[in-house]
Amino acid sequence: MNELSIGIAGAGLLGRLLAWQLGRTGYRVSVFDPASGPQPVFDGRQAAAFTAAGMLSPLAELDNSSPEVAMLGWRSLALWPQIAGAMKAPPHFAANGSLLLAHRSDLGAAQRVLARLADALPGTPQAQPLSLAELQGLEPALHGAAHAWLLPKEGQIDPVAAMRSLHDEAAGVHWNWSRRVGSVRDDGALVLDDGTQQRFDLAFDVRGTGARPELPVRGVRGETVWLHAPGHELTRPVRLLHPRHRVYLVPRPGDIVLLGASEIESEDRSPVSLRSAVELMAAAHSVMPALAESRILRLDANLRPALPDNEPCLEVTPHRVRINGLFRHGWLIAPALVEDALQACGLTAQPAKEFADERS
């Protein structure tokens, strides 16, 4: 047991990844979160991590983020298999590339997006045009798009399964549910809403949209549709160029296809609108007709935590670390950001591979 005490405010993606890394290294870790427990409830108020599609798309995300985000993404794509490989119940993870599709009328828009991607980060994987026969060979379930590209090496992870395993397998971590942190002080104290304080050698503020007013974070609404589509055959995430939404279809274990996502500058946490649901489902059906008979399992809405420049921030001081602004790329970049944070404050995290070797 390492005697250093660590407090973590927030049990979302970052909080669980930190707790998992630090707990198994032997630090004394306590996590605080207003949620009533570790499981997802899909009420629009839970961690954004549960609502996420889990696309790991450093290339496609370059269309609306910086090369630094893409580099964090490529690093994280190499870290996720190590993390999953160290788990007893690993979440589904795959990195067989993703697909970008466009209807005939959207070819001009697609070419403009592809030109931006090609210029943004030379030396990293680039989009490859596919003939319709090649598309059929890769994903027979897709019909209807006139143009297709493969985005090589992009991936996906199952967020709900990953959140569960990060919690369940975080060794020795003390989880404090139904405990809201009002502020995280720079001396390592967490000030709880019930007026009590808990002092740690090091405190992490990873409260996402809950870190206001200490950080100028805002929520950006996103909506998703969960479909049950037995035998759907889709194996890779698919993006469809669409005039209003960045529409994607993500296959998940259990015959699920997840459709996402709207991006609305609003902190409205109310249920999914008819307009978003109709547009997402119509767009998905236009490239995967077999979805017609799928069943709608869930409509989910949540807020992505974003800073004014839409870039992530990592702020390290002697007793407090803040990580926030993961916006639409949290699953894509969290492992590399956590690695940078632990390194910056001199904490050792047991390398995942070493841990896996020990277990076997």
Ligand X SMILES: Cc1cc2nc3c(=O)[nH]c(=O)nc-3n(C[C@H](O)[C@H](O)[C@H](O)COP(=O)(O)OP(=O)(O)OC[C@H]3O[C@@H](n4cnc5c(N)ncnc54)[C@H](O)[C@@H]3O)c2cc1C
Question: Which residues of this chain interact with ligand X, rule CB under 6 A?
Answer: 9-15, 32-35, 47-49, 51-55, 180-181, 206-208, 210, 222, 224, 260-261, 302, 304-305, 324, 326-332
Rounded-to-integer distance, Cα 51 and Cα 216, Å = 22
Encoding tokens for residue 106?
Answer: 């959207």
CB-nearer residue toward ligand X: 30 or 294 = 30
CB-nearer residue toward ligand X: 106 or 205 = 205
Peptide bond into 67 cis (omega under 30): no
Rounded-to-integer distance, Cα 53 and Cα 331, Å = 9
CB-nearer residue toward ligand X: 168 or 357 = 168
Q: How far is the CB of 35 from ligand X (least distance, A)?
A: 5
Q: How far is the CB of 74 from ligand X (least distance, A)?
A: 13
Q: How far is the CB of 52 from ligand X (least distance, A)?
A: 3
Three-state DSSP state, 53: coil
CB-nearer residue toward ligand X: 311 or 356 = 311
Q: How far is the CB of 171 from ligand X (least distance, A)?
A: 20
Q: Residues 23, 167: contact at Cβ < 8 Å?
A: no
CB-nearer residue toward ligand X: 110 or 326 = 326
Q: How far is the CB of 69 from ligand X (least distance, A)?
A: 10
Rounded-to-integer distance, Cα 34 and Cα 198, Å = 16
Q: Going edge to edge, which strands form the sheet with 181-184? A: 181-184, 189-192, 197-199
In the complex, which residue's CB is closest to ligand X?
12
Rounded-to-integer distance, Cα 188 and Cα 66, Å = 31
Q: How far is the CB of 4 from ligand X (least distance, A)?
A: 21
CB-nearer residue toward ligand X: 41 or 171 = 41
Nearest to 118 by CA among 73, 76, 69, 62: 62
Three-state DSSP state, 140: coil
Q: How far is the CB of 279 from ligand X (least distance, A)?
A: 14
Nearest to 188 by CA among 202, 174, 206: 202
CB-nearer residue toward ligand X: 124 or 310 = 310
Q: Going edge to edge, which strands form the sheet with 246-252? A: 128-130, 147-151, 98-102, 238-241, 246-252, 256-260, 218-228, 295-306
236 CB-near residues (< 8 Å, 6+ apart): 94, 96, 97, 98, 99, 138, 139, 156, 251
CB-nearer residue toward ligand X: 143 or 298 = 298
Q: How far is the CB of 360 from ligand X (least distance, A)?
A: 29
Three-state DSSP state, 4: coil
